[in-house]
């Protein structure tokens, strides 16, 4: 089972100093900052998923996250060099897709088949996913002939037509990557129909799209329907799915790979599941910067509280957390300082009980990943991108350990 991590130019700056929150003034982000697969060895994933929409954007959106210079360098150097894929002990692979989420509201995908092939082949990707048009709705009770399914069948038809064109152009151009077709649907039967059509075209690697909102039992219903038409040699890829506990079950239905950002994004997007361990998650300790929290800045501007008071409580909270990690401060004192600062910037959510559990258990001290061994308690502090991304990298490490355990693999 292969796990691909979607790229969004997420890197960490090793020169960042946590106490002073300063950086090396001569740091060059792309040259000096490191990807997760450079920080963690072995890499916490098998490869990267790189989206054309992230790299190039679209005509009607601003989803591109690459600068013009970065785009040109990716095309010029190729993915292996740009992402420094061979720096670790395990060589990584790259899968490309179009980023259908970015143009879901458009009538038709904004890229031509040849543009996408140019992107995949030009950057030296190992796998390339055909142009598709996502279907978000899921309703097994609505057949293809029902007028309510008109938009869904239209998107499915577009996806299958583009897949056929993609396959033919890949054969004609003798591309260096392995092409994947995309099955879109709104029910087990419609997904199965898509897979059957893609196999007739010639695909033996097929990505299943639009399943992110589905519950596990709905995904399994689709996989069981696909089993009825799937050739034994056909391998399935789940787009955007990371149900770690269900991966072994998915594997029994022909799933050989998946991609997801969830472990990384939960580090700073989730309300409570911020720090992964082998068997649970913990809440991260929120100590926002005084000048980086909108509510706190507004209270300071209005004169409701003084900036000096806010800075003093912020510094006390951070100092006591570090002292606690070193065994030089007691837990009650730390919790009181966190509560005092929270009263200024939050005032609504009382996370004391959750913080108590996190700090009592000290999960970062038991973790063997390079992030936790290097920065200690800083990884559990919810504050700024350098800490939050490091926690995201740690989560990728912990997720990989969970996945290996689920699959019965050696975690060494």
Over its length of 412 residues, how does the chain's per-residue pLDDT go in tens digits? 999 999 999 999 999 999 999 999 999 888 899 999 999 989 999 999 999 999 998 766 555 788 889 999 999 999 999 999 876 566 899 999 999 999 999 999 999 999 999 999 999 999 999 999 999 899 999 999 999 999 999 999 999 999 999 999 999 999 999 999 999 999 999 999 999 999 999 999 999 999 999 999 999 999 999 999 999 999 999 999 988 889 999 999 999 999 999 999 999 999 999 999 999 999 999 999 999 899 999 999 999 999 999 999 999 999 999 999 999 999 999 999 999 999 999 978 899 999 999 999 999 999 999 999 999 999 999 999 999 999 999 999 999 999 999 988 865 4
Cis peptide bond upstream of 47, omega within 30 = no
Query: Residue 210 region, left (φ>0) first, then alpha (ψ -120 to 50), else beta?
Result: left
- Which residue of the set 259, 270, 291, 325 is catalytic? 259
Show the beta-strand stretches assigned E in 103-177.
Answer: 127-129
Q: Look at residue 60 in the predicted model and tell me its pLDDT.
A: 66
2-260 CATH fold: TIM Barrel (3.20.20)
Q: Look at residue 61 in the predicted model and tell me its pLDDT.
A: 59
Q: Which helix (H) or strand (E) holds 4?
A: strand 2-6
- Which residue of the set 97, 132, 157, 346 is catalytic? 97
- Is 97 one of the catalytic residues? yes
- Report the DSSP beta bridge partners of residue 50: 96
Collapse the DSSP code of 179 into the 3-class scheme (helix H, G, I; strand E, B; otherwise coil) and give the result: strand
Of residues 179, 176, 201, 181, the one with CA closest to residue 191: 181
Backbone phi, psi, residue 5, to 5°: -100, 120
pTM of the full predicted structure? 0.94
- Report the DSSP beta bridge partners of residue 48: 5, 94
Q: Look at residue 89 in the predicted model and tell me its pLDDT.
A: 64
Integer CA distances (angstroms), 36 to 60, 64, 121, 233, 328, in order: 31, 21, 24, 32, 32
Q: Look at residue 408 in the predicted model and tell me its pLDDT.
A: 86
Q: From CA 59, how far away is CA 130, in angstroms rounded?
A: 19
Of residues 133, 108, 130, 110, the one with CA closest to residue 120: 130
Q: Look at residue 65 in the predicted model and tell me its pLDDT.
A: 83
Q: From CA 41, how far away is CA 35, in angstroms rounded?
A: 11
Q: Which helix (H) or strand (E) holds 2?
A: strand 2-6
**Distance between the two ends of the chain, CA-based, in angstroms?**
16
Q: Look at residue 85 in the predicted model and tell me its pLDDT.
A: 87
Q: From CA 80, how far away is CA 235, in angstroms rounded?
A: 24
Please report, for the chain, the start and end positions of each structural domain, with discontinuous segments joined by +.
2-260, 270-402
Collapse the DSSP code of 30 into the 3-class scheme (helix H, G, I; strand E, B; otherwise coil) and give the result: helix
Q: From CA 222, how far away is CA 228, in angstroms rounded?
A: 10
């Amino acid at each position: 089972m292969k796990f691909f991590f979607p790229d969004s130019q997420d890197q960490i700056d090793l020169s960042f100093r946590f106490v002073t929150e300063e950086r090396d003034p001569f740091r060059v982000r792309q040259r000096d900052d490191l990807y997760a697969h450079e920080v963690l060895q072995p890499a916490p994933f098998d490869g990267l998923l790189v989206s054309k929409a992230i790299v190039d954007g679209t005509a009607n959106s601003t989803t591109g996250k690459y600068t013009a210079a970065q785009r040109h360098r990716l095309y010029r150097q190729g993915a292996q060099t740009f992402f420094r894929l061979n720096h670790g002990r395990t060589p990584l692979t790259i899968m490309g897709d179009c980023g259908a989420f970015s143009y879901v509201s458009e009538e038709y995908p904004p890229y031509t088949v040849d543009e996408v092939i140019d992107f995949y082949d030009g950057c030296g990707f190992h796998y390339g996913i055909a142009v598709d048009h996502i279907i978000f709705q899921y309703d097994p009770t609505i057949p293809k002939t029902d007028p309510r399914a008109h938009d869904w069948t239209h998107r499915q038809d577009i996806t299958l037509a583009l897949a056929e064109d993609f396959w033919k152009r890949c054969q004609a151009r003798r591309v260096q990557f392995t092409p994947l077709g995309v099955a879109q649907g709104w029910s087990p039967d419609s997904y199965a129909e898509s897979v059957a059509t893609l196999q007739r075209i010639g695909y033996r690697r097929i990505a299943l799209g639009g399943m992110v909102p589905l519950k596990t039992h709905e995904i399994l219903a689709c996989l069981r329907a696909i089993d009825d038409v799937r050739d034994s040699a056909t391998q399935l890829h789940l787009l955007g799915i990371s149900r770690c506990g269900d991966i072994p079950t998915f594997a029994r239905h022909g799933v050989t790979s998946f991609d997801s950002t969830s472990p990384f994004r939960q580090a700073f997007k989730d309300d409570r599941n911020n720090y992964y361990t082998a068997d649970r998650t913990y809440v991260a300790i929120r100590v926002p910067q005084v000048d980086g929290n909108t509510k706190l800045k507004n209270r300071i501007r209005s004169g409701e509280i003084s900036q000096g008071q806010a800075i003093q409580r912020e510094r006390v909270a951070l100092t006591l957390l570090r002292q606690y990690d070193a065994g030089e401060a007691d837990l009650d004192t730390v919790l009181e300082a966190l509560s005092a600062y929270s009263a200024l910037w939050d005032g609504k959510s009382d996370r004391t009980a959750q913080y108590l559990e996190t700090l009592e258990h000290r999960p970062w001290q038991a973790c063997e990943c390079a992030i936790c061994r290097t920065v200690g308690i800083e990884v559990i502090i919810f504050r700024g991108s350098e800490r939050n991304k490091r926690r995201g990298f740690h989560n990728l490490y912990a997720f990989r350990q969970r996945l290996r355990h689920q699959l019965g693999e050696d975690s060494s």
